[in-house]
Structure 1
Amino acid sequence: MTDIPRKDIELPHAVRVFIDATNHGDSEAFVAAFTPDAYLNDWGREFHGRDGVRSWNRTDNIGVQAHFDLVSADRGPGEDSYRLRLKVSGNGYNGNGPMEFELRDGLIAGLRIS
């Protein structure tokens, strides 16, 4: 996998995997970047656990050949939170969008896309 360009901060490993796995179509690595009890909220649509993440990935991410380009990144309000703006392209949503990540034990515990 390739390195993601650095922006304002050094991205945690799980967030780099989130982007790289998407860009390389690696669904197993993508899902493994999340905690077993992860929560994903995509504009109000909620997904729970790795099964929920896998479902979202199939319908809204790798399943529609999404590709992410990092536009900006900064720390969120919590100790292990990060806010990214990604340019998304592929056969689903296309455009810029903010994503807020909450990490726990080095994995993504929460992701809010709005």
Structure 2
Amino acid sequence: MIELPMPVREAFDATNAGDLERFTAAFADDGVLDDWGREFRGRDEIARWSREESIGVHQTFEVTESRVIGDDVIVTADVGGEGFNGPSTFTFRLDADGRHIERMAITA
């Protein structure tokens, strides 16, 4: 199993389990999710995004690689489900205490 910081692992595990509340709890209260330039701020907007484009379409993630560059945790995962399918890159920045995701950006 690829080692990931706790909130990053929690976000992937929660999505795979279809657990929206657990997914949004991995984010800081004022966290940001950037999906190819579309930003969703705060847990309510992140939950809306997930209902429409992630957990709501039964998205799954299989992490294939992880690396740390500076303050960023960069994860490559194969995405499955009823929406987008294929490899994606996720760049995470954690809050100061490392307990929550401050920013998650999804790119190619």
Q: Same fold (TM over 0.5)?
A: yes
TM-score w.r.t. the length of structure 2 is 0.93
Equivalent runs, 1:21-60 vs 2, <5 Å? 21-60=14-53
1:67 to partner: Cα distance: 0.4
What residue identity is the alignment partner of 2:26? A
1:94 aligns with 2:88: no
Divergent runs of 4+, >4 A:
none
TM-score w.r.t. the length of structure 1 is 0.89
Aligned equivalent of 1:109? 102
1:77 to partner: Cα distance: 2.2
| Alignment partners' CA distance in 1, 2:100 and 2:33 | 13
| Alignment partners' CA distance in 2, 1:40 and 1:19 | 14
Unaligned runs of 5+ in 2: none
SS class of match (2:56): helix
| Alignment partners' CA distance in 2, 1:44 and 1:14 | 22
Q: Is the 8 A contact 1:76 1:100 kept in 2?
A: no
Identical pairs, percent: 41
1:90 to partner: Cα distance: 0.2
**RMSD over aligned Cα, in angstroms?**
0.8
What residue identity is the alignment partner of 2:43? R
Q: Is the 8 A contact 1:19 1:68 kept in 2?
A: yes
1:61 aligns with 2:57: no
Q: Is the 8 A contact 1:41 1:113 kept in 2?
A: yes
Q: Is the 8 A contact 1:38 1:49 kept in 2?
A: yes
| Alignment partners' CA distance in 2, 1:52 and 1:110 | 13
| Alignment partners' CA distance in 2, 1:64 and 1:19 | 15
